[in-house]
A and B are shown apart, each in its own frame.
Chain A
Amino acid sequence: MFLYVLKRLFQSLITLFVITTVVFLLLRLMPEEGYFGENYDKLDEMQKEVILTEMGLRDPLHVQLGKFYKNLFHGDLGRSIVFRPRVKIWRIIKPKVPYSLWFGVASVTLSLLIGIPMGLFMARCKGHWFDSLGSGYIVLINSVPAAVYYLFIQLYLSSALRLPMLFDARNPASWVLPAVSMSLSGIAYYAMWVRRYMVDELNRDYVKLARAKGLSSTQIMTRHVIRNAFVPVTQYIPMSFLLTISGSIYVESLFSIPGMGGLLVTAIQRQDNPLVQALVLIFSSVGILGLFLGDVLMALFDPRIKLTRKAASR
């Protein structure tokens, strides 16, 4: 097990290295006009050169790359160049993370607490009105783009429930709508998969045996079916918690929450290379960690799954 963790860690480091390098190189392909934004027309050639040199963009590529990794090794993510010039990147990110994290954790918790029982219940009374109602909800949420239903939630639900339309950190009521909006797709996701896995498990032979043995259907459900149906679901849970750090672009801009959502897109659009690199590094390490934790959690839930044997048997 220890060896397995070590191997995965080593692999992840290589993957991260390749990702940051590729992103670094892609960013150097961006047009030079982009670094000046609106001021492009007002500057003459010399001023532009000075600014570009100051940003460190006139050094040869390998020097830029070397400098980036040297700083990274010392735990320094660098300084922003366009978004908020010469401000350390961790100072830009630090105040934003808690908002995204709190909303994210609240919405993932909500979707787990509502989605899983909903899926269980739908599988339990398959074909009845609750099942069709739930399926209708899943179809609607999965097919209509989030941009559209978020707008309607903000428009109509805020006035119907008399909740504030925009976020205000001092007013707890304003936390409700963003968290609920963000959890809608998660609820649909967990309900859909829990239902699917439950139905699959209910058709297995061991369920028939348990029934023949005389177990009540509640006992079959709690002791056998749920335990088995849960294993594939657990794999996604750590990932969905961890990825909340990147925030939700829609919800945060609609309700004007000062979180991480959209920071990456803004940074890319304004060509703030160090900021983009730092964000890509953070998000992809979180993503890789989430995948790993998901595998571990799945192995903990189901003793039949052996992480180490997987590599040997191939």
Chain B
Amino acid sequence: MANSIMFVILAVVILGSAILCVTTTKIMRAATFLLFVLFGVAGLYFLLDYTFLGAAQISIYAGGVTMLYVFAIQLVGKRSLQGLVERVKGSRVIFGSILALVGLVTVCFVLLKNEFLFAAANQPDAEVPMNVIGHALVGADRFQYVLPFEFISLFLLACIIGGLAIARKEEK
């Protein structure tokens, strides 16, 4: 029961902030609402007893990515972004709404009609132990994930170098 109440609160926060995020015309407000969405999703992970995933979500997304957005908005320029009131074309809004509604109906139909739902386990609320996660993350056996771990470290290094190379000032 408590879980259901928490889920409803989180769902209202996530969906309300997401709708405000895509409809507000000010970019700074959109970034702030994105922060609320990310906190709500972290709360969902805590609700699913994936505490580590929730902590990673908060520290990487809410701490890192949102900061990056704020810096980019402040850097990209006064005239353009900070007081920006974006003109949104009506035809595009209608097209986007229709596409989103059609896709939503299709996806909900597929998700709610499949037979996975009957397999939903009614397991007790127990936190996934950090010990198990750590062994699975850096183990090299079957169902262990050291190879993607190494790949993503290389990928992050490549992205750091790529970001620096792209964003650096060109010498005249």
A, B co-complexed? no
Interface of B with A (CB < 8 Å)?
Answer: none
